[in-house]
Structure 1
Amino acid sequence: MAEAAPPAGERPRSVLPALALVLNGFIWGISWWPFRQLQAQGLHPLLATAFVYLLSVVLLIAARPGAARTMARHPALWLLAAAAGMTNVGFNWAVTVGDVVRVVLLFYLMPAWTVLLAWLVLGERPTGPSLLRMALAMAGVAIVLKTGDAAWPVPHSLADWLALAGGISFALNNVLLRKLNHVDAAGRVLAMFLGGAIMAGGAAALGLAGGFVAAPAVLDSGWVIGLALSLGFLGSNMALQYGAARLTAHTTALIMLSEVVFASLSSVVLGAAELTARTVAGGGLILVAAAWSAWPVGEPRGAQ
């Protein structure tokens, strides 16, 4: 989701850009908790996601009405909306119903998927180091997915599949952001929020019709939580735009890995995840691959 990097050799004037990215990672890293609170009150994560992002769309258009005109002028933003929407459907649903650490690790296979999608969408042929990073990440996910009673390391739960689908969608989201970097930032942000509202709302409607999504109950504090989530996601996106525009893409990607730390610590402390030796070992390989993809050593400018 990075914006244009500063000119080569230019150093940020303060630590504020880095702190902004850490704030973004913190908000996303703990977002699983309010979604679980809403589910406990009878609001399915798909419905919660649709509500949160619809409210975000309203707030964004009120603040930046020109964003809607930008979307009208750039039809390609609708593809970005679809990718961002599927990202949020996969991630928000997965962290609500699955082991949070496992979900976040599977989601952060994103750099591996980016290698393939950048080749298909941007025409960037993968380099030797990028293929090695992808192999490292895949070895990590195999360790995470392998359970004692399973013959093969394959996804064995809805949360696993959702996390993997969310990560692939996030990789496509990032590739499309690079392809559409000439479009006004407010239009891109609106596309991503609108995609979250439409895709989650559509999936929720199918779920209600199919019986696997329960009708929403009367919420006690749910609307307050939903408003807080909307404001939090708006704030996190603003922090991301601010920080990524002032730091290199490599630095941005490295700092964004803080989301894994915040999600892991909060979920373990609150009992929503269990750190097994297998998860730690496989997760370590995934994170090494992700950090390596963000490290500007031995790669040409723009390589993934």
Structure 2
Amino acid sequence: MNPRIGSTLPTLAIMLGASVWGLVWYPMRMLAALGLTGTAASAATSAAACLFVLLVRRGSIRSISWHWLLVALAIAAGVTNIGFVWGAIHGQVMRVLLLFYLTPAWTALFAHFILHERLTRSGVALAGLSLAGAATMLWSPELGLPLPANLAEWAGLMGGMGFAMSNVLIVKVSRVLPAMKSEMRTATIFGGAALVASVAMLFEPMTAPPAASQLGMVALLVAGLGIVLASNNMLVQIGLAKVPANRASIIMLFELVVTALSAWLFAGEVPGAREWAGGACIVAACVLSGWVHREKEPRDPREPREQCDEPRDEPHPKKKSTRAMV
């Protein structure tokens, strides 16, 4: 293969994954319009994705071994899923996603307590920058304190905290269970998302189920989303195996671009000046976070980087190893 093409394909894989995540809110709203609530849609699509991964990569199932960290990872993934899906269905998509992307602030805090990583000045500064962006976006003289204005925005904020916790726990799991295949971590995340969403359904007000004439469309959307999202996660794993973590974190911000365009085209949502300013701070914090925690080059410039078939587990939790966004 041409070396230039070989270096471009992993980048395209990550960009495609970010594009899928930036568009997934729309079919979730379609399911909501058909009568499937956000929690029910999250549970159904996550279960379909988990089943698809287990069927396609069934040879890797024996690499799973019991550990309480897997339970914690599953719960964190479930909070991530519920927060994003419910927020995207009931709120302004771009504001919910920007609140979701306060990841640098939460990751620095969680990594300090779970991975025992020292809080550096740069980490604290980046966390402050992202929080300042959120405050700018949420500030309103009429409302007072810059807090989320509705339940959808609170859901996006909680989803981002769950996402940061998931990233930290993925690193912890990779250290404690090094023999566990990466696709089984993906299955754990999707399975956890399905279980947490199923429990959340019990506390959601009862609504009329989808009409009998629409059940076929609902089933098709659920199965299609499950397969697309599971395949997307495995595709991104291939890209992450070949692209340095700092560069990958920047490429993944393409999701914000896709979300902004899709929200404008499909929902008529146009961010205001405060949303753009606050979003710029949050994006800058994410970009600088990847640069500050960039991968170290080999000491000997003649020494090639390690190449492997499985994605490498980076020593810092800023790398987005897997994401279940259903």
TM-score, with length taken from structure 2 = 0.84
Matches within 5 A, 1:1-304: 13-181=6-174, 182=178, 183-207=180-204, 212-218=205-211, 219-220=214-215, 221-296=217-292, 302=315
Offset from partner CA, 1:65-114 (integer Å, 9 cap, x none): 24544444344212111111110010011111100010110000011110
CA distance in 1, matches of 2:15, 2:192: 24
Please report how far the alpha carbon of residue 149 of structure 1 lies from its aligned counterpart in structure 2 after TM superposition: 1.8
Question: What letter matches 2:196 in structure 1?
Answer: M
Q: Which runs of 5+ in 1 are unaligned?
A: 1-10
Between the aligned residues of both structures, percent identity stands at 36
What RMSD, in angstroms, separates the aligned Cα atoms of the two structures?
2.1
CA contact (8 A) 1:118 1:124 kept: yes
Which aligned runs of 4 or more in structure 1 are off by greater than 6 angstroms?
A: 297-301
How far, CA to CA, are the matches of 1:63 and 1:298 in structure 2?
A: 33
Q: Which moved more, 1:25-34 or 1:262-271?
A: 262-271
Q: What residue identity is the alignment partner of 1:152?
A: L
**Conserved? CA contact 1:142–1:153, under 8 Å:** yes
Distance 1:73 1:153 in 2: 42
Q: Deviations over 1:120-145 (max 9, x none)?
A: 10000111111111111111000111
Q: Is the 8 A contact 1:111 1:293 kept in 2?
A: yes
Distance 1:78 1:22, change over 3 A: same
Q: Matched residues in 1 for 2:202 and 2:16: separation?
A: 33
CA-CA distance at 1:216 after TM superposition: 2.5
Distance 1:216 1:148 in 2: 41
Measure the CA separation in 1 of the matches of 2:206 and 2:173.
35
Distance 2:16 2:119 in 1: 32
Residue 297 to residue 45, structure 1, CA distance change in 2 (3 Å): closer
Query: 1:191 and 1:133 mapped to 2: Cα distance?
Result: 30
Identify unmatched segments of 5+ residues in structure 2. Answer: 297-313, 319-326
On the 8 A contact 2:245/2:294 being kept in 1, the answer is no
For 1:189, the aligned partner's letter is T
AA aligned to 1:142 is A
Residues of 2 paired with 1:138 and 1:299: CA distance?
Answer: 25
Contact 1:83–1:169 under 8 Å retained in 2: yes
Residue deviations 1:279-301, cap 9 Å, x none? 11111111111111011478989
How many aligned positions are there?
A: 291
1:168 shift after superposition = 0.4
Higher relative contact order (CA 8 A, sep 6+): 1
The whole-number CA distance in structure 2 between the counterparts of 1:23 and 1:12 is 16
Give, as a single letter, the amino acid of the residue that structure 2 aligns with 1:266: S
Deviations 1:32-77 (A, max 9, x none): 0000001111110110111111111222222222454444434421
In 1: Cα distance, 2:165 partner to 2:41 partner? 23
| One-letter identity of the residue aligned with 1:199 | V
The one-letter code matched in structure 2 to 1:258 is F
TM-score with structure 1 length normalisation? 0.90
Deviation of the 1:302 alpha carbon? 4.7
Q: What SS does structure 2 have at the residue aligned with 1:192?
A: helix
1:19 CA displacement: 0.5
